[in-house]
Copies of this chain bind each other. A is one copy, B any other.
Amino acid sequence: MTRPTRLPSFDVYEEARVLITGGLGFIGSHLAKALAELGADVTIVDSLIPDYGGNHYNVREIKDQVRINYSDIRDPWSIRYLVRDKDIIFNLAGQVSHIDSMTDPQTDLDINCKSQLALLEACKENNPNARIVFAASRQQYGKPEYVPVTEDHPLVPMDVNGINLIAGESYHLLYNNIYGIRTVSLRLTNTYGPHLLMKHGRQGFIAVFIRSAIEGRDIDVYGDGSQLRDFTYVSDAVAAFLTVALVEGTYGNAFNVGGLEPISLLEVAKLCQELAGMGGGVRTVPWPRDREKIDVGSIYIDHTRLAAATGWEPTVDLRAGLSRTVEFYRDHGEHYWS
Protein backbone atom coordinates (compact mmCIF):
# COMPACT_ATOMS: atom_id res chain seq x y z
CA MET A 1 0.00 0.00 0.00
CA THR A 2 1.24 3.48 -0.82
CA ARG A 3 1.26 6.33 1.69
CA PRO A 4 -0.78 9.22 0.35
CA THR A 5 0.32 12.68 1.30
CA ARG A 6 -3.26 13.80 1.92
CA LEU A 7 -6.80 12.49 2.01
CA PRO A 8 -8.44 11.76 -1.34
CA SER A 9 -10.77 14.46 -2.64
CA PHE A 10 -14.40 13.88 -1.75
CA ASP A 11 -15.49 15.74 -4.91
CA VAL A 12 -16.00 12.41 -6.65
CA TYR A 13 -19.02 11.79 -4.45
CA GLU A 14 -20.92 14.42 -6.44
CA GLU A 15 -23.66 12.50 -8.22
CA ALA A 16 -22.25 9.17 -7.01
CA ARG A 17 -25.05 6.68 -6.40
CA VAL A 18 -24.68 5.58 -2.81
CA LEU A 19 -26.56 3.05 -0.69
CA ILE A 20 -26.32 3.29 3.10
CA THR A 21 -27.67 0.31 5.02
CA GLY A 22 -28.59 1.32 8.53
CA GLY A 23 -28.73 4.88 7.23
CA LEU A 24 -31.26 6.09 9.81
CA GLY A 25 -28.91 5.01 12.59
CA PHE A 26 -26.17 6.80 14.46
CA ILE A 27 -23.17 6.74 12.10
CA GLY A 28 -25.26 6.01 9.00
CA SER A 29 -27.25 9.23 9.36
CA HIS A 30 -24.12 11.38 9.69
CA LEU A 31 -22.68 9.64 6.65
CA ALA A 32 -25.91 10.30 4.74
CA LYS A 33 -25.75 14.00 5.64
CA ALA A 34 -22.11 14.31 4.59
CA LEU A 35 -22.85 12.57 1.29
CA ALA A 36 -25.96 14.65 0.62
CA GLU A 37 -23.89 17.78 1.17
CA LEU A 38 -21.30 16.46 -1.27
CA GLY A 39 -24.04 16.11 -3.87
CA ALA A 40 -24.31 12.32 -3.86
CA ASP A 41 -27.47 10.47 -4.85
CA VAL A 42 -28.19 8.82 -1.47
CA THR A 43 -30.49 5.89 -0.76
CA ILE A 44 -30.93 4.89 2.85
CA VAL A 45 -32.06 1.41 3.81
CA ASP A 46 -33.35 0.98 7.33
CA SER A 47 -35.97 -1.18 9.01
CA LEU A 48 -36.38 0.87 12.21
CA ILE A 49 -36.24 -2.15 14.51
CA PRO A 50 -37.49 -0.55 17.73
CA ASP A 51 -34.50 -1.32 19.96
CA TYR A 52 -31.93 -0.46 17.29
CA GLY A 53 -30.43 2.91 16.41
CA GLY A 54 -32.66 3.97 13.51
CA ASN A 55 -34.48 7.25 14.21
CA HIS A 56 -36.20 9.62 11.77
CA TYR A 57 -34.99 12.56 13.77
CA ASN A 58 -31.43 11.64 12.71
CA VAL A 59 -32.21 12.73 9.12
CA ARG A 60 -34.36 15.76 9.94
CA GLU A 61 -31.97 18.07 8.05
CA ILE A 62 -31.65 15.98 4.90
CA LYS A 63 -34.97 14.19 4.58
CA ASP A 64 -35.76 15.96 1.31
CA GLN A 65 -32.33 15.24 -0.16
CA VAL A 66 -32.18 11.47 0.38
CA ARG A 67 -34.36 8.50 -0.57
CA ILE A 68 -35.43 6.44 2.42
CA ASN A 69 -36.30 2.82 1.70
CA TYR A 70 -37.80 0.92 4.63
CA SER A 71 -36.51 -2.61 4.39
CA ASP A 72 -34.79 -5.17 6.58
CA ILE A 73 -31.43 -6.42 5.33
CA ARG A 74 -32.69 -9.90 6.27
CA ASP A 75 -35.00 -9.62 3.25
CA PRO A 76 -32.68 -10.77 0.46
CA TRP A 77 -35.09 -9.85 -2.34
CA SER A 78 -35.42 -6.14 -1.66
CA ILE A 79 -31.68 -5.91 -1.02
CA ARG A 80 -31.06 -7.71 -4.30
CA TYR A 81 -32.95 -4.95 -6.07
CA LEU A 82 -31.57 -2.07 -4.02
CA VAL A 83 -27.88 -2.82 -4.65
CA ARG A 84 -28.36 -2.50 -8.42
CA ASP A 85 -26.81 0.55 -10.08
CA LYS A 86 -25.12 1.75 -6.90
CA ASP A 87 -21.53 2.93 -7.10
CA ILE A 88 -20.77 2.61 -3.42
CA ILE A 89 -22.49 0.73 -0.61
CA PHE A 90 -21.82 1.78 2.97
CA ASN A 91 -22.91 -1.31 4.82
CA LEU A 92 -23.64 -0.25 8.39
CA ALA A 93 -26.85 -2.15 9.19
CA GLY A 94 -26.27 -4.56 12.02
CA GLN A 95 -27.18 -5.84 15.42
CA VAL A 96 -24.62 -4.03 17.58
CA SER A 97 -25.55 -4.91 21.16
CA HIS A 98 -23.11 -7.37 22.69
CA ILE A 99 -25.63 -8.11 25.43
CA ASP A 100 -28.49 -8.79 23.01
CA SER A 101 -26.22 -11.13 21.03
CA MET A 102 -26.00 -13.36 24.09
CA THR A 103 -29.71 -13.35 24.92
CA ASP A 104 -30.80 -13.77 21.28
CA PRO A 105 -27.84 -15.16 19.35
CA GLN A 106 -29.87 -16.33 16.36
CA THR A 107 -31.12 -12.83 15.56
CA ASP A 108 -27.57 -11.55 15.77
CA LEU A 109 -26.50 -14.31 13.37
CA ASP A 110 -29.33 -13.60 10.93
CA ILE A 111 -28.53 -9.89 10.75
CA ASN A 112 -24.76 -9.95 11.05
CA CYS A 113 -23.97 -13.07 9.00
CA LYS A 114 -26.86 -14.29 6.89
CA SER A 115 -27.85 -10.83 5.65
CA GLN A 116 -24.27 -9.82 4.91
CA LEU A 117 -23.78 -12.91 2.80
CA ALA A 118 -27.05 -12.19 0.98
CA LEU A 119 -25.96 -8.61 0.26
CA LEU A 120 -22.64 -9.81 -1.12
CA GLU A 121 -24.34 -12.47 -3.24
CA ALA A 122 -26.69 -9.77 -4.52
CA CYS A 123 -23.72 -7.63 -5.54
CA LYS A 124 -21.98 -10.60 -7.13
CA GLU A 125 -25.07 -11.29 -9.24
CA ASN A 126 -26.38 -7.79 -9.90
CA ASN A 127 -23.62 -5.28 -9.30
CA PRO A 128 -20.08 -6.69 -9.13
CA ASN A 129 -18.62 -3.23 -9.76
CA ALA A 130 -19.95 -1.78 -6.52
CA ARG A 131 -17.51 -0.79 -3.84
CA ILE A 132 -18.58 -1.81 -0.34
CA VAL A 133 -17.43 -0.49 3.03
CA PHE A 134 -18.40 -2.73 5.94
CA ALA A 135 -18.78 -1.51 9.52
CA ALA A 136 -16.96 -3.97 11.79
CA SER A 137 -15.85 -3.60 15.40
CA ARG A 138 -12.88 -3.79 17.72
CA GLN A 139 -15.14 -6.22 19.63
CA GLN A 140 -13.78 -8.83 17.26
CA TYR A 141 -10.45 -8.89 19.10
CA GLY A 142 -11.82 -9.97 22.47
CA LYS A 143 -9.53 -9.58 25.47
CA PRO A 144 -6.33 -8.05 24.12
CA GLU A 145 -2.95 -9.73 24.39
CA TYR A 146 -1.35 -6.32 23.89
CA VAL A 147 -2.39 -2.69 23.43
CA PRO A 148 -2.78 -0.79 21.25
CA VAL A 149 -4.35 -3.63 19.27
CA THR A 150 -3.25 -3.86 15.64
CA GLU A 151 -5.20 -5.54 12.84
CA ASP A 152 -2.93 -8.60 13.14
CA HIS A 153 -4.01 -9.24 16.74
CA PRO A 154 -5.76 -12.63 17.12
CA LEU A 155 -9.54 -12.49 16.84
CA VAL A 156 -10.92 -14.23 19.95
CA PRO A 157 -14.18 -12.45 20.71
CA MET A 158 -15.95 -12.92 24.02
CA ASP A 159 -19.51 -12.75 22.76
CA VAL A 160 -21.65 -14.00 19.89
CA ASN A 161 -21.71 -10.53 18.34
CA GLY A 162 -17.94 -10.53 17.93
CA ILE A 163 -17.96 -14.01 16.36
CA ASN A 164 -20.64 -13.01 13.88
CA LEU A 165 -18.94 -9.74 12.99
CA ILE A 166 -15.79 -11.67 12.15
CA ALA A 167 -17.81 -13.85 9.78
CA GLY A 168 -19.53 -10.79 8.27
CA GLU A 169 -16.21 -9.06 7.73
CA SER A 170 -14.58 -12.23 6.39
CA TYR A 171 -17.32 -12.68 3.76
CA HIS A 172 -16.67 -9.14 2.56
CA LEU A 173 -12.92 -9.66 2.25
CA LEU A 174 -13.42 -13.07 0.63
CA TYR A 175 -15.74 -11.65 -2.02
CA ASN A 176 -13.01 -9.12 -2.81
CA ASN A 177 -10.31 -11.78 -3.05
CA ILE A 178 -12.29 -14.39 -4.97
CA TYR A 179 -14.82 -12.40 -7.01
CA GLY A 180 -13.09 -9.04 -7.31
CA ILE A 181 -15.87 -7.08 -5.60
CA ARG A 182 -14.05 -4.16 -4.02
CA THR A 183 -14.68 -4.35 -0.30
CA VAL A 184 -13.04 -2.91 2.78
CA SER A 185 -13.85 -3.33 6.45
CA LEU A 186 -13.54 -0.74 9.20
CA ARG A 187 -13.15 -2.00 12.75
CA LEU A 188 -14.66 0.79 14.81
CA THR A 189 -13.82 1.44 18.43
CA ASN A 190 -16.20 3.30 20.78
CA THR A 191 -17.79 5.84 18.46
CA TYR A 192 -19.86 8.64 19.96
CA GLY A 193 -21.60 11.87 19.11
CA PRO A 194 -25.08 13.21 18.36
CA HIS A 195 -27.62 10.62 17.12
CA LEU A 196 -26.27 7.87 19.37
CA LEU A 197 -29.07 5.59 20.56
CA MET A 198 -30.16 6.60 24.08
CA LYS A 199 -33.34 4.56 24.54
CA HIS A 200 -31.54 1.84 26.46
CA GLY A 201 -28.04 1.00 27.61
CA ARG A 202 -27.44 -2.22 25.76
CA GLN A 203 -25.39 -0.74 22.92
CA GLY A 204 -22.46 0.41 24.99
CA PHE A 205 -21.50 2.32 28.09
CA ILE A 206 -20.82 5.73 26.52
CA ALA A 207 -24.52 6.35 25.85
CA VAL A 208 -25.29 5.41 29.45
CA PHE A 209 -22.61 7.78 30.75
CA ILE A 210 -23.81 10.71 28.63
CA ARG A 211 -27.48 10.25 29.44
CA SER A 212 -26.87 9.81 33.16
CA ALA A 213 -24.76 12.98 33.21
CA ILE A 214 -27.37 15.05 31.37
CA GLU A 215 -30.09 13.75 33.67
CA GLY A 216 -28.00 14.58 36.73
CA ARG A 217 -27.72 10.97 37.87
CA ASP A 218 -24.61 9.26 39.22
CA ILE A 219 -22.61 7.18 36.77
CA ASP A 220 -21.73 3.67 37.89
CA VAL A 221 -18.34 2.46 36.66
CA TYR A 222 -17.64 -1.26 36.99
CA GLY A 223 -14.50 -2.36 38.82
CA ASP A 224 -12.00 0.33 39.76
CA GLY A 225 -12.62 2.28 36.55
CA SER A 226 -8.98 2.12 35.49
CA GLN A 227 -9.79 0.24 32.26
CA LEU A 228 -8.56 2.25 29.28
CA ARG A 229 -10.71 2.85 26.20
CA ASP A 230 -10.38 4.92 23.03
CA PHE A 231 -13.10 6.97 21.37
CA THR A 232 -13.83 8.21 17.88
CA TYR A 233 -16.04 11.22 17.37
CA VAL A 234 -18.64 10.47 14.73
CA SER A 235 -17.38 13.04 12.19
CA ASP A 236 -13.99 11.32 12.25
CA ALA A 237 -15.65 7.94 11.71
CA VAL A 238 -17.62 9.38 8.78
CA ALA A 239 -14.39 10.70 7.27
CA ALA A 240 -12.89 7.22 7.55
CA PHE A 241 -15.83 5.69 5.64
CA LEU A 242 -15.73 8.36 2.94
CA THR A 243 -11.97 7.97 2.60
CA VAL A 244 -11.48 4.22 2.40
CA ALA A 245 -14.14 3.84 -0.27
CA LEU A 246 -11.97 5.93 -2.60
CA VAL A 247 -8.54 4.41 -2.01
CA GLU A 248 -7.82 1.42 -4.23
CA GLY A 249 -5.11 0.09 -1.93
CA THR A 250 -7.59 -0.49 0.87
CA TYR A 251 -9.76 -3.07 -0.90
CA GLY A 252 -9.67 -6.55 0.56
CA ASN A 253 -8.39 -5.30 3.90
CA ALA A 254 -9.66 -4.54 7.39
CA PHE A 255 -8.57 -1.38 9.19
CA ASN A 256 -8.85 -0.16 12.74
CA VAL A 257 -10.58 3.21 13.20
CA GLY A 258 -9.30 4.47 16.55
CA GLY A 259 -9.16 7.66 18.55
CA LEU A 260 -6.61 10.17 19.75
CA GLU A 261 -5.62 9.13 23.26
CA PRO A 262 -6.88 6.27 25.43
CA ILE A 263 -8.50 7.32 28.68
CA SER A 264 -9.80 5.43 31.71
CA LEU A 265 -13.50 4.78 32.15
CA LEU A 266 -13.38 6.69 35.44
CA GLU A 267 -11.97 9.76 33.67
CA VAL A 268 -14.55 9.52 30.88
CA ALA A 269 -17.35 9.36 33.42
CA LYS A 270 -15.96 12.38 35.29
CA LEU A 271 -15.61 14.31 32.04
CA CYS A 272 -19.25 13.59 31.14
CA GLN A 273 -20.38 14.89 34.54
CA GLU A 274 -18.19 17.96 34.28
CA LEU A 275 -19.46 18.85 30.79
CA ALA A 276 -23.09 18.21 31.68
CA GLY A 277 -22.78 20.17 34.91
CA MET A 278 -25.96 18.69 36.33
CA GLY A 279 -24.47 17.67 39.67
CA GLY A 280 -24.23 13.92 39.14
CA GLY A 281 -21.28 12.01 40.57
CA VAL A 282 -19.24 8.94 39.62
CA ARG A 283 -19.32 5.74 41.67
CA THR A 284 -17.23 2.63 41.24
CA VAL A 285 -19.26 -0.53 41.77
CA PRO A 286 -18.32 -4.23 41.71
CA TRP A 287 -18.69 -6.05 38.40
CA PRO A 288 -22.10 -7.68 37.91
CA ARG A 289 -21.37 -11.39 37.52
CA ASP A 290 -22.77 -11.72 34.00
CA ARG A 291 -20.81 -8.71 32.77
CA GLU A 292 -17.53 -9.64 34.40
CA LYS A 293 -17.27 -12.77 32.27
CA ILE A 294 -17.21 -10.74 29.08
CA ASP A 295 -15.06 -7.87 30.34
CA VAL A 296 -11.96 -7.39 28.21
CA GLY A 297 -9.98 -5.12 30.56
CA SER A 298 -8.12 -2.23 28.97
CA ILE A 299 -8.38 -2.06 25.20
CA TYR A 300 -7.58 0.54 22.59
CA ILE A 301 -6.65 0.16 18.99
CA ASP A 302 -3.88 1.21 16.64
CA HIS A 303 -4.95 2.92 13.42
CA THR A 304 -1.47 3.30 11.94
CA ARG A 305 -2.41 1.05 9.05
CA LEU A 306 -5.37 3.17 8.01
CA ALA A 307 -3.35 6.37 8.39
CA ALA A 308 -0.59 4.92 6.21
CA ALA A 309 -2.99 3.70 3.54
CA THR A 310 -5.22 6.74 3.28
CA GLY A 311 -3.92 9.67 5.32
CA TRP A 312 -6.94 9.46 7.64
CA GLU A 313 -6.37 10.53 11.24
CA PRO A 314 -8.85 11.30 14.03
CA THR A 315 -9.08 15.04 14.67
CA VAL A 316 -11.70 15.65 17.38
CA ASP A 317 -10.50 15.21 20.94
CA LEU A 318 -12.73 13.67 23.56
CA ARG A 319 -13.47 16.89 25.46
CA ALA A 320 -14.54 18.72 22.31
CA GLY A 321 -16.54 15.78 20.99
CA LEU A 322 -18.29 15.08 24.28
CA SER A 323 -19.03 18.76 24.71
CA ARG A 324 -20.83 18.86 21.34
CA THR A 325 -22.61 15.62 22.18
CA VAL A 326 -23.86 16.82 25.56
CA GLU A 327 -25.03 20.06 23.96
CA PHE A 328 -26.90 18.11 21.27
CA TYR A 329 -28.78 15.96 23.74
CA ARG A 330 -29.59 18.92 25.96
CA ASP A 331 -31.35 20.50 22.99
CA HIS A 332 -32.71 17.40 21.27
CA GLY A 333 -32.88 14.76 24.00
CA GLU A 334 -36.65 14.43 23.82
CA HIS A 335 -36.26 12.71 20.43
CA TYR A 336 -33.89 10.11 21.90
CA TRP A 337 -34.83 9.32 25.45
CA SER A 338 -37.60 6.83 24.60
- Complex contacts, A208 vs chain B, CB 8 Å: none
Stretch at the interface among A88-96, A154-162, A299-307: A154-162
Question: Mask for A163-180, Cβ within 8 A of B = 1, else 0?
Answer: 110110011001001100
Question: Mask for A130-171, Cβ within 8 A of B = 1, else 0?
Answer: 000000000000000000000010110111100110110011
Question: Mask for A200-213, Cβ within 8 A of B = 1, else 0?
Answer: 00000000000000
- Tell whether A174 pairs with B170 under 8 Å between CB atoms, given A106-B118, A117-B106, A155-B155: no
Contact A109 B102 (CB under 8 A): no
Question: Mask for A20-35, Cβ within 8 A of B = 1, else 0?
Answer: 0000000000000000
Contact A294 B178 (CB under 8 A): yes
- Tell whether A167 pairs with B158 under 8 Å between CB atoms, given A105-B117, A109-B117: no
Contact A114 B121 (CB under 8 A): no
Contact B154 A117 (CB under 8 A): no
Cβ-based interface call for A322 (8 A): no
Cβ-based interface call for A265 (8 A): no
Cα of A106 to Cα of B118 in the assembled complex, Å:
8
Quick one: which of B163, B171, B178 contacts A174, CB cutoff 8 A?
B163
Contact B109 A114 (CB under 8 A): yes
Of the four ranges (under 10, 10 to 19, 20 to 34, 35 or more), the interface on chain A belongs to: 20 to 34
Cβ-based interface call for A113 (8 A): yes
- Minimum distance in angstroms from A77 CB to a CB of chain B: 13
Cα of A142 to Cα of B113 in the assembled complex, Å:
20
Residue in B closest to A118 when the chains form the complex, CB atoms: B106
Cβ-based interface call for A293 (8 A): yes
- Complex contacts, A171 vs chain B, CB 8 Å: 105, 160, 163
- Minimum distance in angstroms from A35 CB to a CB of chain B: 30
- Complex contacts, A157 vs chain B, CB 8 Å: 170, 174
Cα of A106 to Cα of B164 in the assembled complex, Å:
14
Residue in B closest to A105 when the chains form the complex, CB atoms: B117
- Complex contacts, A109 vs chain B, CB 8 Å: 113-114, 117
Quick one: which of B118, B163, B178, B293 contacts A170, CB cutoff 8 A?
B163
Cα of A184 to Cα of B250 in the assembled complex, Å:
36
Cα of A117 to Cα of B294 in the assembled complex, Å:
18
Residue in B closest to A104 when the chains form the complex, CB atoms: B121
- Complex contacts, A160 vs chain B, CB 8 Å: 117, 171, 174
- Complex contacts, A117 vs chain B, CB 8 Å: 105-106, 109, 160
Which of A163, A164, A166: most chain B Cβ within 10 A?
A163
Cα of A117 to Cα of B178 in the assembled complex, Å:
27
Contact B155 A174 (CB under 8 A): no
Cα of A105 to Cα of B118 in the assembled complex, Å:
9
- Complex contacts, A167 vs chain B, CB 8 Å: 113, 163-164, 166-167
- Complex contacts, A159 vs chain B, CB 8 Å: 174, 178
Known: A105-B121, A105-B171. 12 other contacts (CB 8 A): A109-B113, A113-B113, A113-B167, A114-B114, A117-B160, A158-B177, A158-B178, A159-B174, A166-B167, A167-B167, A177-B293, A178-B294
